[in-house]
Structure 1
Amino acid sequence: MAAAVATAVAGAPNGKISDPRSAFMRAYDRLKSELLQDSAFDFTDDSRQWIDRMLDYNVPGGKLNRGLSVIDSYKSLKQGKELSEEEIFLACVLGWCIEWLQAYFLVLDDIMDGSHTRRGQPCWFRVPKVDMIAVNDGILLRNHIPRILRRHFREKPYYVDLLDLFNEVEFQTASGQMLDLITTHEGESDLSKYSMPVYRRIVQYKTAYYSFYLPVACALLMSGENLENFIDVKNILIEMGTYFQVQDDYLDCFGDPQVIGKIGTDIEDFKCSWLVVQALDRADENQKKILFENYGKADPSHVIKIKTLYNDLQLQAVFLEYERESYKHLIASIDAFPSKSVQEVLKSFLGKIYKRQK
């Protein structure tokens, strides 16, 4: 079943993958081929070429951390036991389902935000001749996920749990996106409505569930575990996801676009970001006036005024202190778990994002 990843697995001791990214990409090639031959649709040459190009443009171009984390988490949960080629392939498949979900979210999110670049290239809807066809492409990306799951997991005892998990996380993420969008509308009329409780709620639902909880939950289900027994793990992963989004907000303003792969637009888009919440909490009346008059304006002169204010409020130092305290708290929470394999999973996740630059 897993011939596509066999060369990366063969000869690896204790089920270790000699080249995880290579194995993962081989699995992508197989999944794409299966989707392009899906008997439920009578493909024309043009439609098959469109889907082929659309998938390559949107699905595998990121860091792939979410997808690769399924494999890492599953290996840790198996505590060094040798993994079969099928197990490794199925972990790759679940990882790619998360990457497909990510692609679906990003294609539509870029349209809603009017973004220009993603992963160092034009957003899909800005590619010539794509435009609003990208909306339907996002829907197709979403519909590919259950087709992949049915093909490869239908006979597994946890198949229904997988479907429920992906449906639940998609609902949570879409609801978080809704909260983000309507909060932005409220903020446009009254910036003072942006607060830390509001921010945390948006982040929890929009980012943390699908980026942090979902990969580990997939690995737990593959390991035969009941997710109801891992509520504490979920809570730590949600906290980790919040930390990740704070980093993202910080990099949107202070990161190098050449490194992070996109041009930050949170200020222009009136986003309820961690930085503006911190600014509102620290600004005096004159500084708040600058915020109210310039935040959410697309003109570069207004953006410069906001960034200057952020520097005056020393928000870069505030972020570094937040990062230190968050890491310390997360490590303490992880070390409190009795299961060493769960600790390994959580520390692996944290290690990938701590002090990231993109």
Structure 2
Amino acid sequence: MLFQNVIKHCRHYTAPVSAICKPSDVFTNLSNEFPYYLPKIIKTSLTKKKYEDNIEIKERIKNLSEYHTLAREPIQGKLTFLAFDALAESKDLTEEKLHQVQVLAWAVELVQSYFIIGDDMEDNSETRCGKPTWHLLPDVGLLAINDASMLRSFIYEMLKNNFDQNTSTKVENYVNEAFLTINIGQYMDIMMSKSKDFNKFTVEQYNFLNDHKSSFYTVKLPILLALELCNKVSQDSYENVNKICTDLGILLQMQNDVMDYIDRDSAPVKTSSDIQKKKCSWPAVTALQHFNEEQRREFMNCYGRWESEKVERVRELYKEINLPHLYRLEEQRINKTVLEKIKKLPDNATPSADFFYKIFDFIHQYTEDISPSILKSNVSMSAI
């Protein structure tokens, strides 16, 4: 692949990408335990509450937490494990720290699951990860609003009751930052969909929107939490994470947007409706840059409409400009930019260049495949 030509010029990076991110025993064990770990977290998180013995509440929280989280590939959770494994020293590999990193992995995944509930209600989505959306379940309906609120509160209970006060305050601040940035991104997303001015559908607007909507919680949050757990947070480390990981988070969102278009009949991660909802998606923004006048006129007439023929015409217009090829070119450009930023890090940077190469390699395995087959395995970020 073309991006590999960039890699061989990077300092400390002469091996193939896949060789750099070989899973360690710590990462493998944490990842294998993740799907089964929630009951332990519920037990340690609700012990100080008077409803700790309320079986109905505990089951509701468990079912609510697992419903979407275990139906998708836990990219954020695994990224938390990867970052912790790369940062941890031998003194960090205690039973307590290994429990805490599971708590953090579940926390970052539940942040996404929390927003998914509201996002699916706003978009009238019927399915996600091949399952009915939470609010469409027989015993849910509008109770989903209360469920989402309970899930958000449970995230803070997890953090408060599994860390000392100093650490819990810091990780709660990062989680709250994630909530705020996603809320801003969601607001911007909705307002862009209501806009009648397609001149606002620019690359700059798309990147700004998705830095808020997805980039922070998808890539930055897991790394910052792992840094905090390993006591390696500083102003420089925060800035390094922000500088290098913003593009990676946006790339993940781009891939998700492209997959929404490529094959709507292959059990997509969520019900495909970006075209109908007039989303400021990467396909729409990119297409507007490459359309001729006639194509642009047709697009503006069809985009944001629910009639099947209008939707299909937008898809045909995307095919006419070979959208998957344009994605591949942009992916390679972003990869090159990120690798150049990593290369410029000083030798004593925290996190190190080698750390960021591992993060790059991990993210790349998800962004490189935009074939319809990837949709069937739900390995994409279940983006909001």
Shared fold by TM > 0.5?
A: yes
Alignment of 1:33-182 (within 5 A): 33-34=43-44, 39-41=49-51, 46-78=56-88, 83-155=93-165, 157-182=166-191
Q: Structure 1 residues 293 and 256 mapped into 2: Cα distance closer, same or farther (>3 Å)?
A: closer
- Do the aligned partners of 1:15 and 1:82 also contact (CA within 8 Å) in 2? no
1:44/1:147 CA distance change after superposition, 3 Å: closer
Structure 1 residues 206-231: Cα deviation after superposition (integer angstroms, max 9, x where no partner): 00000110000001111112341220
1:222 aligns with 2:239: no
SS of the residue 1:266 aligns to:
coil
Q: Deviations over 1:322-355 (max 9, x none)?
A: 1122222222322333324533442343344231
Query: In the alignment, which residue of structure 1 is the partner of 2:337?
Result: 329
Matched, 1:276 2:289: no
In structure 2, do the counterparts of structure 1 residues 279 and 142 end up closer, same or farther at CA, with 3 Å as the change threshold? Answer: same
Instruction: Measure, in 1, the Cα distance between the counterparts of 2:30 and 2:61.
Output: 26
CA distance in 1, matches of 2:260, 2:252: 12
Cα distance in 2 for residues equivalent to 1:44 and 1:84: 31
CA contact (8 A) 1:158 1:224 kept: no
Q: CA deviation at 1:19?
A: 2.8
Question: Is the contact made by 2:114 and 2:148 (CA closer than 8 Å) also made in structure 1?
Answer: yes
- Partners of 2:47 and 2:266 in 1: CA distance: 37
**Within-5 A mapping of 1:307-326:** 307-326=315-334
Q: Which amino acid aligns with 2:137?
A: V
Q: Tell me if structure 2 keeps the 8 A contact 1:77–1:345.
A: no
Q: Deviations over 1:37-66 (max 9, x none)?
A: 662448765544433332331333221110
Measured after TM superposition, the shift of residue 122 of structure 1 is 0.9
**2:189–2:280 Cα contact (<8 Å) kept:** yes
Residues 281-329 of structure 1 deviation map (CA, whole Å, 9 limit, x = unaligned):
2222211111111111112211110000111122221111111222222
RMSD over aligned CA atoms reads 2.3
CA contact (8 A) 1:36 1:52 kept: no
Q: Please give the alpha-carbon distance, in whole angstroms, between the structure 1 residues aligned to 2:287 and 2:367.
A: 23
Pick 1 or 2: higher relative contact order, CA cutoff 8 A, min separation 6.
2
1:256 Cα offset (Å): 5.6
CA distance in 1, matches of 2:336, 2:28: 32
Specify every segment of 5 or more residues in structure 2 that has no aligned partner in the other structure, as ranges.
Answer: 1-23, 375-379
* SS of alignment partner, residue 52 of structure 1: helix
Contact 1:268 1:296 in 2 (8 A): yes
Query: What secondary structure does 1:258 align onto?
Result: coil
Q: Which residue of 1 aligns with 2:207?
A: 200
Q: Distance in 2 between matches of 1:89 and 1:232?
A: 27
The answer (yes or no) to whether the contact 1:121–1:261 under 8 Å persists in 2 is no
- Hey, what does 1:8 align to over in structure 2? none
Q: 1:261 aligns with which of 264, 269, 273?
A: 269
TM-score by length of 2: 0.82
Q: TM-score, normalised by structure 1?
A: 0.88
**Partner residue of 1:291 out of 292, 299, 315:** 299
> Contact between 1:119 and 1:260, CA under 8 Å: does it hold in 2?
yes
Offset of residue 20 of structure 1 = 2.7
Q: Give the whole-Å Cα distance in 2 for the aligned partners of 1:165 and 1:115.
A: 29
**Residues of 2 paired with 1:255 and 1:343: CA distance?**
32
Q: Flag the 1:325–1:340 CA change in 2: closer, same or farther, 3 A.
A: closer
* Structure 2 partner of 1:4: none
Q: Which residue does 1:355 correspond to in 2?
A: 368
Amino acid at match of 2:333: E
